[in-house]
Structure formats: C-alpha cells, structure tokens
Chain A
Amino acid sequence: MAEKIQLEVVTPGGAVVSDQVDIVTAPGFGGEFGVLANHAPFLSTIKIGTLTYKKGGQETVLMVSGGFCEVSSNTITFLVEAAEKGGEIDVDRALRAKKRAEKRLAQTQQKQENINQTRAEAAMQRALARLKAAGRA
C-alpha cells in the first residue's frame, strides 16, 4: 500500500486532521464505507459515528457528528460539525451525556414530544460515538 490519500477533517472550529493516510473508514448515509487512494469522486452525507483512519499500521479513531464528505483528486474532505480524536474525549462527560439522554428519551416517549425526542436521540448517538471512539483509541 504505497499510495496514500490526503485526509482532511474540517470543523467550524478549524481543521482537526490534515494528513496522508492509507485508508479511511467513515459512517456514511448508507452505512460504513472505506476509501483508499485514487478513489472515484464521491460525495456522501455523514452520520454521527466514528471515523477510522490508518497510517503506516497505526490506527486512529475520531468521533464525528453530522456533515458530509467529499472525495476528489485523491483527497478526502470531511466537513462535520464536530470531530474529536479518541484520546482527547472526555469520557466522564460522554457518560454523563449518555445518562442524560437516556433519561430524556424515557421522558419524551411517555409524553410523545417529537422535537425533543429527535434531539435526545441525536445526543444519545453523539455520546455513544464518543464512547466508542474513546474506547477503541
């Protein structure tokens, strides 16, 4: 695997990753997908989840929240609202967020409030993705 692909992860707060990597795996709209060097131009929305990239045998896991990704001319660009490296994630905070989301989900299901339910679900997914990224890193 001599050929590499340029990975860029950009959030509103600035670039998180800008590196030459071997492979990128990301949570796309239709499920996880992997991208190697010289991939065809591609555009997909990104769901909340974990993004994994390998560089020289070393694997890095990132938590990403919603956005989209674009592959063109051997560069893969992720435009996401938030991205955090596994090692930088505050596990306690994520656990607390998970508990909060669980509680809220239970509450909203009783009252059947749709708006709050979607929000709680998104919070839940973010918390889970953070924990997953932190656990594997």
Chain B
Amino acid sequence: MASLKDVKTQISGVKKTSQITKAMNMVAAAKLRGAQQKMENFRPYTEKFTAAMSSLAAGMNVADFPLMQAREAKTVEIVVITSDRGLCGSFNANIMKRVQQLTRQLEGEGKQVSYVCVGKKANNALKRGGKVRKAYTDIMGTFQMFNARQIVQDLAANFLANGADEVRLVYSRFISVASQKPTDEILLPVQPLAGETAQGQKGGDYIYEPSTAEIMEVLLPLFLNVMVYHAMLEVGASEHAARMSAMDNATTACKDIIANLTKLYNKARQSGITSELMDIVGGAEALKG
C-alpha cells in the first residue's frame, strides 16, 4: 500500500489539476458567449447579403464569371479550419477525420488534393504529408473579417490561375453547446444560390449601378469572404463549446479520482493508527510484565 505522504501529494496534485480544468471551463464558457455574440451580430449581414445575391444572380449567365465556372475537377484544394489550441476534446480530431475521409474519397476518384490550413491544429496534423500549400496560424483567437479576406484573395487567385479546379471548405458547424458537427462545403466555383428562381421576378425591377454583371464581379469575392468568415465564426464558437464540455468532463473525472484517493488515504491512515495502537498495547503489556 502506498504511504500516507504519497497519497497526500497525489490528492493535492489532482486537486490542482481540477482547479485548472474548472478555470478553463469557465474561461471557455465566457469566450463561447463572446463567439456566439459575434455569430449573432454577423447573421443579419449574411441574410441580407444572400438575399441580395440571389435576386441579383437570377437570370445571370454563370459562364460570364470565372469564379462561378465549373471545370473538370482534377485538382481539389481543401481548406481546413480548426482551432489554434488543443485541450478541447475530440473537436479537432473530428474535423481531421472528416478531412481524411474526404481526401480518401477524392483521391479514390483520381483527383489531386492539396490543403490550405487555417488554425494551428490543422497545420500540425497535415504538414507532414507535404501537401499543405498555405497555412494561416494564430489567427483563430482574434480573427476579423480582414483575415477572411486575406485567405479568400489567395484562394480565388489560385483558383483563377488553375492552381485548383475546386475548393472545398471543411469546418465544424456549431449546432449547440453540446454538439458540433464537422461539415464540408464547396467554396469554389461559387455554387448557384438556392431559391434564385423564386426571387427572379423581383430582381428585374431594380435599377443597377453599375450593371448587374459588374456588381456581380464585386460581390462574388465578397460572398466568398462571407462564407469563409462565417465558417471561421462557427469554428470559433464550436471550439469553445467543445473545450467547455471537455473541461467539464475533466473536472468530474478529477472529483472521482480525488474521492478514490481519499478513500485510499483514510484506509492507510486507519491501518497506521491500528498498528500504532498495537505497539502501545504491546508496550503496556510488556511493562506490566
């Protein structure tokens, strides 16, 4: 049996760990609130943007816009968005699993795959394969629309220069605090928007300045910005939610361990006392002689 002192140090060690995990849980909860607020603030922008885009896209010829032109996809670029930091359970592992799945599927179809990593964890997991074309790390904590724009500019330039025939986005969707789901979307070529036919008639009444085609030219990159930024926000919120539940689990596990160790400690103490008593009793017996 472990000695009293050993058990005591172990207990205090686990206690300290539980303090850390508890603090991390609370920090994640506070950050999650911020991330959710950010998402909430962004929603009206996305909604209005999509509405305007779909009324604009109605009756427009896809072939006129290089960003919308579908080519035979021989090379596919996967944009992987993960968190910069770990300690959030299987959050990043789930995203990477999705990436691997997608890669296998695409490579099975004879396509060439390359990656663009957003977030340190994606880069760490993929850089050994040597297929990472570009990595953006240490931006997930405080990202701005500006970061999304940088990424999109690079992606669009690469797409237009035939560096990739298709660009996919893999990220984690924030469904609730308890559930985050890895998803993939096609980013480029820009997919025709759903519901554009329904709004087609409405679009015809507008006065456009400049022409619809020129507006589209400006809006398409912006639309990509919106998509990437949105994905980054989702990942941000998901990360904090995942960390929150992971840290909550860790705290509970710590409590269990502490309870077990305390039991062990008490047992050890008890047997110590018993043997001491035996000594005293033995000594007294001997004195009686």
Contacts and interface: CB of A to CB of B under 8 A. Distances in A.
Contacts of B48: 10, 70, 77, 79
A43 B42 CA distance: 21
Interface in A24-44: 28-30, 33, 40-44
A88 interface: no
A5 to B, nearest CB: 16
B6 interface: no
Nearest to B146: A81
B41, B226, B229: most-surrounded residue (chain A CB, <10 A) = B41
A66 B45 CA distance: 14
- Give the dominant DSSP class at A's interface: strand
> What is the size category of the interface that chain B forms with chain A?
20 to 34
A13 interface: yes
B278 interface: no
Contacts of B218: 45, 66, 68
A14 interface: yes
Interface of B: 38, 41-42, 44-45, 48-49, 52, 56, 145, 205-210, 214-215, 218-219, 222, 226, 229
30 contacts: A10-B45, A10-B48, A12-B41, A12-B45, A12-B145, A12-B229, A13-B41, A14-B42, A15-B41, A15-B44, A28-B209, A33-B209, A40-B205, A41-B206, A42-B207, A43-B206, A43-B207, A43-B208, A44-B215, A45-B210, A45-B219, A66-B218, A68-B52, A68-B218, A68-B219, A68-B222, A72-B206, A77-B48, A79-B49, A79-B52
Interface of A: 10-15, 28-30, 33, 40-45, 66-68, 70, 72, 77, 79, 81-82
| 3 smallest beta-carbon distances between A and B, as pairs | A14-B41, A44-B209, A41-B206
